[in-house]
Homo-oligomer: A and B are copies of this chain.
Amino acid sequence: MMSDIRICFVGDSLVAGVGDRTALGWPGRLAARAQAVGWPLTWYNLGIRRETSADIAARWEAECARRLPAGVAAGVVFAFGANDTVLEDGRPRVEPEKSVANLVAFLDTAADRGWHRLVVSPPPNIDPEHNARLAELDARFAAVCAAADVGYLRALEPLSADVVWQREIAAGDGYHPDGAAYERYADLLSPGWNHWFTTAFGVV
């Protein structure tokens, strides 16, 4: 069993937990549950509001490298897509082909660094047309991860049918829920997260 596990959560506002008045978001909830069972985890939340995969590309490796020194068991969890698929002047902020290429590059770089990898799907928002674009990206991300033998945790479809998620994003800004819905998001991710964590780091 590894004695010093460090994980960076890399992504956008939905990683940062914007809207969550408990200040945990889903990464904080997964981290708290891991620590509650005694797993030796240090975690860093590197979600930034409004960032696309192109924005993330410009900074994630340097930020993670400072937090994942040699000698620790290291992992990176990626979650993005909502901002890539926002339309500006009729075009996505990042074209799907480029979003996919960015994910491929992130996974390759992390592997080269010796960092374990996990990818989390973006959640739905209040706009059906935006969600349709997200669903296409979600399917492509799933295929990328399958080809790379990296775990991809689905959340878009189950949260689309989740009454707590839907109620809270409607009560918020249409994109960011409050704590109860982030708890639902964490609940959905929990089995896949636990499987990845125990497999990658040898904890039980």
This chain: copies in complex:
2
Identify which of residues 96-126 in chain A touch chain B, using a CB-to-CB cut-off of 8 Å.
none
- Cβ-defined contact, A49 with B45, below 8 A: no
Residues of B within 8 A of A162 (CB): none
Q: What's the nearest-Cβ distance from chain B to residue A6, in Å?
A: 8
Of all chain B residues, the one with the shortest Cβ separation from A4 is B49
In the assembled complex, the CB of A14 is this many whole angstroms from the nearest CB of chain B, namely: 12
Given contacts A44-B48, A48-B67, A36 and B24 within 8 Å (CB-CB):
no
Q: Which among B42, B43, B45, B48 is the interface contact of A66 at CB below 8 angstroms?
A: B48
Q: A24 CA to B55 CA in the complex, in Å?
A: 26
Describe A's contact surface by its main secondary structure.
mixed
Instruction: Provide the residues of chain B in CB contact with A36, threshold 8 Å.
Output: 21
What B residues does A66 contact at CB under 8 A?
Answer: 48, 55, 59
A32 and B22 contact, CB distance less than 8 A: yes
Residue of B nearest to A13 (CB): B42
Q: Does A94 belong to the interface (CB within 8 Å)?
A: no
Cβ of A129 < 8 Å from any Cβ of B?
no
Interface string of A1-13 (1 = CB under 8 A from B): 0000010000001
Kindly supply a per-residue 1/0 record for chain A positions 44-64, scoring 1 wherever the CB is within 8 Å of any chain B CB and 0 otherwise.
110011100001000100110
Complex alpha-carbon distance, A33 and B55, angstroms: 30
CA of A71 to CA of B151, assembled, Å: 38
Are A32's CB and B42's CB within 8 A?
no
Residues of B within 8 A of A198 (CB): none
Which residues of B sit under 8 angstroms from A24, Cβ to Cβ? 23-24, 28
Known: A13-B42, A44-B45, A45-B45. 5 other contacts (CB 8 A): A6-B49, A42-B49, A44-B48, A49-B67, A59-B62
A–B Cβ pairs within 8 angstroms, 16 of them: A13-B42, A18-B42, A20-B35, A21-B36, A22-B32, A23-B24, A23-B28, A23-B31, A23-B32, A24-B28, A48-B66, A49-B67, A55-B66, A59-B63, A59-B66, A63-B63
